[in-house]
Amino acid sequence: MPCIKLSDVANLYKTRLEQLGATVTNRIHTTRLKDRLLSVLPDLRAHSQGRDTLLLFEKDIGPALKKAYDHDSDAMHLVRAAQVVRREMFQTRFTFDGAFHADCQKDSVTPALLALVNMILDGANIKHQTKLANTSTTTVLLQYRSYWCSTV
């Protein structure tokens, strides 16, 4: 997505004027430069972002908004997944009685955490899920670290 800061355009404009032999003693007035660019290029749009002004063409606005939306949507999915897993992790308590039973690793990890780690390692394909032995160590460590960090 071609997007450029107005300040960068002003610097390029100043450099080009100097290359053409003009003497530039003052700073380029960026508001006037922006207004001139917008009047000459009807498809150009200016968007304020904090202290910067961004310039982009109308045809690039739609893809830029879609990209931002997709990024935000992905982030919200990750936040939701983390909330579900963490809630289940902190609601489930595993007590160690001094002996390791046959299913102690499986019993100490929540199903949501195990499913998430399996999906990270193998994707969402059910047919190719890793065996419990491959993911149980990772999930037990994640569970332990979460408990340990929440009490510190």
pLDDT digits (tens, 9 = 90+) for 49-83: 888 898 888 786 667 666 766 777 777 788 888 88
**Mean pLDDT of the 34-62 span:** 85
Q: What are the DSSP calls for the chain, one per residue?
A: ---EEHHHHHHHHHHHHHHTT----SPP-HHHHHHHHHHH-TTEEEEEETTEEEEEEHHHHHHHHHHHHHHHHHHHHHHHHHHHHHHHHHH------SS--TTHHHHTS-HHHHHHHHHHHH-S-GGGPPPHHHHHHHHHHHHHHHHHHHH-
Q: Is 110 a residue whose pLDDT tops 60?
A: yes
Q: Is 34 a residue whose pLDDT tops 90?
A: yes
Query: Does the pTM exceed 0.95?
Result: no
Q: What is the pLDDT of residue 35?
A: 93
Q: What is the pLDDT of residue 95?
A: 72
Indicate the average pLDDT of the chain. Answer: 78
